[in-house]
Amino acid sequence: MKVGKIAIIGAGNMGGAIVNGLLKSGYVEASSIAIADPRKQTLEKFSAQGVNTFQDNSQAVETADLVILAVKPYHIEKVIDGLKPALNPQKIIVSIAAGVNLSDLTKLIGEEYRIFRVMPNTAISLQESMTCISGNGNSEESLAVVKELFDHLGATVVINEELMAAATVLASCGTAFALRYVRAAMQGGVEMGFGAEMAQFITAQTVKGAVQLIMNTGHHPEREIDKVTTPRGITITGINEMEHKGFSSSVIQGLIASFNKIERG
């Protein structure tokens, strides 16, 4: 079921990326999107594209059917308090704030509201997000609305809220983790003789192809790795050296450190 008008509160990295993805998708018209941020300059590029822009959050949500809260977690309480008089339970509420759980959102907004926690990533600007969704269970119908919206902005999965911290680390922080691999490989490429631009192009296309190998076939990564690692060959020498230096262990420990950071607040 298609959403009507959308209001986005916060025009930073994620709020802006959501607008860009929505405009690219053509799923909703620019005139059906409103975005609010106290920083006027941040809003200019959106009004130039026909999006309704506001410095007042309440004005932005006035005609909205669905409100996306895209402010920092430490601004959520203040933003909801300010918005409360302009909200009503007909409006679906979506929060993308990391670490802010549904029970806190429900306490702040109201038991009668349909509230969703949604965790996208920055590739939402290209309709390539991995977006994890969980809701307070107040309406199956509105879950379909929220899922359909984010389906137009990448892939979605509906998960139990208890997995939302893990989803945040794997899918949202994951963009940065993956790009650190790309950057490290580029640095190696430059040391071996490529210019930085060429090293980036070769690395990025290689990573894209590797990911497609597992996405298109459903194969376990090791099955594709086995095809590359010639016995006594070059690749296994490199992989084993990476593992001696703690590659997999570093990645896992980094993920768990991020996970613990969410849990601790």
Ligand X SMILES: O=C(O)[C@@H]1CCC=N1
Enumerate the known binding-site residues for NADPH.
57
- 98 backbone dihedrals φ, ψ, rounded to 5°: -65, 135
Between residue 52 and residue 81, which ones bind ligand NAI under the rule CB under 6 A? 57, 70-73, 75, 79
> Smallest distance from the beta carbon of 157 to ligand NAI, in angstroms?
15
Q: Give helix 76-83 / helix 102-109 axis angle, nearest 10°.
A: 30
Whether residue 94 contacts residue 66, with contact meaning beta carbons closer than 8 Å, is answered with: yes
In the shown chain, the binding pattern of residues 16 to 55 toward ligand NAI, with x for contact by CB under 6 A and - for none, equals --------------------xxxx--x-------------
Annotated binding site for NADP(+): 9-14, 70-73
Q: Residue 101 binds what, of ligand X, ligand NAI, none (CB under 5 to 8 Å, by partner type)?
A: none
Q: Residue 130 binds what, of ligand X, ligand NAI, none (CB under 5 to 8 Å, by partner type)?
A: none
Tokens of 220: 């376990």
Q: Which residues of 20-53 are buried (b: 16+ CB within 10 A; e: fewer)?
A: bbbbeeebbeeebbbbbbeeeebbeebeeeebbb
Spell out the alpha helix ranges (H) of 48-195. 57-61, 76-83, 102-109, 140-151, 164-167, 174-191
Nearer to ligand X, 13 or 205 (CB): 13
Q: Residue 68 binds what, of ligand NAI, ligand X, none (CB under 5 to 8 Å, by partner type)?
A: none
Q: How crowded is residue 81: how many other Cβ atoms within 10 Å of its Cβ? A: 10
Give residues with Cβ within 8 angstroms of 148, minimum separation 6: 1, 2, 3
Contacting residue, 21, 120, 154, 189, with ligand NAI by CB under 6 A: 120
C-alpha–C-alpha distance, residues 262 and 247, integer Å: 23
Dihedral sign of CA atoms 133, 139, 140, 146 in order = negative
Cα 19 to the center of its chain, rounded Å:
13
Q: Residue 154 binds what, of ligand X, ligand NAI, none (CB under 5 to 8 Å, by partner type)?
A: none
Between residue 181 and residue 240, which ones bind ligand NAI under the rule CB under 6 A? none
Nearer to ligand NAI, 120 or 189 (CB): 120
Between residue 161 and residue 200, which ones bind ligand X under the rule CB under 6 A? 168, 172-173
Contacting residue, 35, 98, 108, 165, with ligand X by CB under 6 A: 98
Nearer to ligand NAI, 190 or 262 (CB): 262
Q: Give helix 174-191 / helix 196-217 axis angle, nearest 10°.
A: 130
> Smallest distance from the beta carbon of 172 to ligand X, in angstroms?
4
Tokens of 132: 């994890």
> Smallest distance from the beta carbon of 129 to ligand X, in angstroms?
12
Nearer to ligand X, 22 or 98 (CB): 98
Nearer to ligand NAI, 107 or 223 (CB): 107
Q: Which residues bind ligand X (CB under 6 A)?
A: 98, 168, 172-173
Binding site for ligand NAI (CB under 6 A): 9-15, 36-39, 42, 57, 70-73, 75, 79, 96-98, 119-122, 172
